[in-house]
Amino acid sequence: MTGPSAKPKIEIRDLTMAFGSFVVMRDINVDILPAEIFIIMGGSGCGKSTLLRHMIGLKAPAQGEIFYDGEAFWHATEERRREQLRAFGVLFQSGALWSSMTLAENVSLPLAEYTDLPAADIRDIARLKLALVGLKGFEDYYPAEISGGMCKRAGLARALALDPDILFFDEPSAGLDPISSRNLDELILQLRDSLGATFVVVTHELQSIFAIADNSVFLDTHTRTMRAQGNPRELLKHSPDPLVREFLTRGAPAPSEPATTGV
């Protein structure tokens, strides 16, 4: 893990998110360190996915800025923003696989779009990325022929296609059974440790939050701003805010120790 003196990989400064005159969240200030798994958490409708969309260039902020490696994102030229986006990998909530394409073809899409690699090299890289997420041998399967958990893994393989520095996940455990969800958490930890990538994960699933998070931000619907930031385990133990503690318990048993990957 990166030490506390490391410069932030991502900085969010004085961010206000709005749809017209309706303010979703205001005064968001967050630092995310390199190789950190950072959780965006909060109740339904608090703006978790909206914050993610601001971070990946799908919606401009009403106010404030997001910095990647110290470089402004929204105040950069459109051309420079496109270059910065090349360092991002995104796993959408549904997996967002093309049903008419095989898993290998889905993973090959960003490689064909953004590189000049020969078709044979693209196929080899697609196989490698699928193997990396435990889908070796499933290259020629279609999304309808595999389970929901495997579709999430295939979506992750596609997000990894361009060797991104930063990976963004929107509710990766949504729709998965507990075993598939736990397996996905373990895979995220393995990939963080082996690739050194930074992960930003939107989730409200307590098991995932306690299993993978290094740091987090809690967004509050009522005050429309961030209410807490820190490691969720530390927030559970020491936060003076009853709303944060209530969110982090919600009738669940006390969290077990974080998983170890052995990577």
If you average pLDDT over every residue of the chain, what do you get? 90
Helical residues (DSSP H) of 102-176, grouped into ranges: 103-114, 119-132, 148-159
| pLDDT tens digits, one per residue of 29-58 | 999 999 999 999 998 889 999 999 999 999
Domains of the chain, first to last? 10-249 (3.40.50.300)
Question: Taking phi first (over 0 means left), then psi (-120 to 50 degrees means alpha), and beta for anything else, what does residue 196 get?
Answer: left
| pLDDT tens digits, one per residue of 14-24 | 999 999 999 99
At 180, the pLDDT band (50, 70, 90 cuts) reads confident
| pLDDT tens digits, one per residue of 78-131 | 999 999 998 999 998 766 789 999 999 999 999 998 899 999 999 999 999 999
Chain centre distance of CA 227: 20
CB 259 within 8 A of CB 185: yes
Is pLDDT above 60 for 255?
A: no
